[in-house]
Amino acid sequence: MTNEQYKTRWDERYRETDFAYGKTPNLFFKTHLDQLDKGCILMPADGEGRNGVYAAVTGWQVTSTDLSPEGKIKALQLAAEFHTTLTYVTGDLETLQFEPASFDAIGLIYAHFLPEKKSILHRQLDTYLKPGGTIIFEAFSKNHKANAQVGGPTEIAWLFSEDEIREDFSNYDILLLKEEVVGLEEGKYHMGQGTVLRFIGKKKPAL
């Protein structure tokens, strides 16, 4: 699949009237974000903005990104509904540039990048995080069995393992890393049992 094909898929989904994954934040993201001091957060693949908008409402300075302009339209609509604002940049994450060490946190919530790019993008994102900053990550694991309601990629290369996370974020203190079977109730496309990988990492100071 090319980037353009991937973009088209998400444009079609986000063009639907309803919010594909609802308007409320991912519970794991919310729980762990609430434990952090407020600052600047980067939200790659933020889609229709449910997580970025929550962060903005609670006092974070939010920069969201996504391939889909349709996602941005919905995210700004949601932000207005909650009387908040965020910065939303569309485009291929690989070509977007942010200042090194400019974010206090990064939220990677179901950010399933193209398989050949996911490790590259993880390492790129690492450069934008300050030493001592936190990554909050939840996505489907390689043991997930996708279906139309629960969602998730059907090809294993798109999914994640603990070993991949340890390798991609080797310069982090791992505060949490585990696979869990969870009940998802996130809009039309995340409904039912999913096998997910959850990771909380704190970036180590540079040597």
Is residue 8 predicted with pLDDT exceeding 90? no
* CB of 117 closer than 8 Å to CB of 94: yes
pLDDT of residue 3: 75
Select from 10, 8, 82, 94 the least CA-distant residue to 51.
82
For 191, half-sphere exposure in the C-beta direction (CA atoms, 13 angstrom radius) is 8
> Cβ atoms within 10 A of the Cβ of 147, count?
13
Q: What are phi and psi of 47, to 5 degrees?
A: 55, -125
Helix axes 69-81 and 50-57, enclosed angle (nearest 10): 30
Query: Is domain 3-203 annotated with CATH 3.40.50.150?
Result: yes
Q: What is the DSSP letter of 174?
A: E
* CB of 79 closer than 8 Å to CB of 48: no
Q: Is 139 buried (19+), middle (13-18) or exposed (0-12) by CB count in 10 A?
A: buried
149 — pLDDT class (breaks 50, 70, 90): confident
The span from the first CA to the last CA of the chain, in angstroms, equals 39
DSSP symbols for 37-99: PP-EEEETT-TT-HHHHHHHHTT-EEEEEES-HHHHHHHHHHHHHTT---EEEES-TTT----
Q: How far apart are CA 35 and CA 16, in angstroms?
A: 34
Model confidence over 71-127: pLDDT tens digits?
999 999 999 999 999 999 999 999 999 999 999 999 999 999 999 999 999 999 999
- Rounded to two decimals, the pTM is 0.95
pLDDT of residue 199: 98
Q: What is the mean pLDDT of residues 60-81?
A: 97
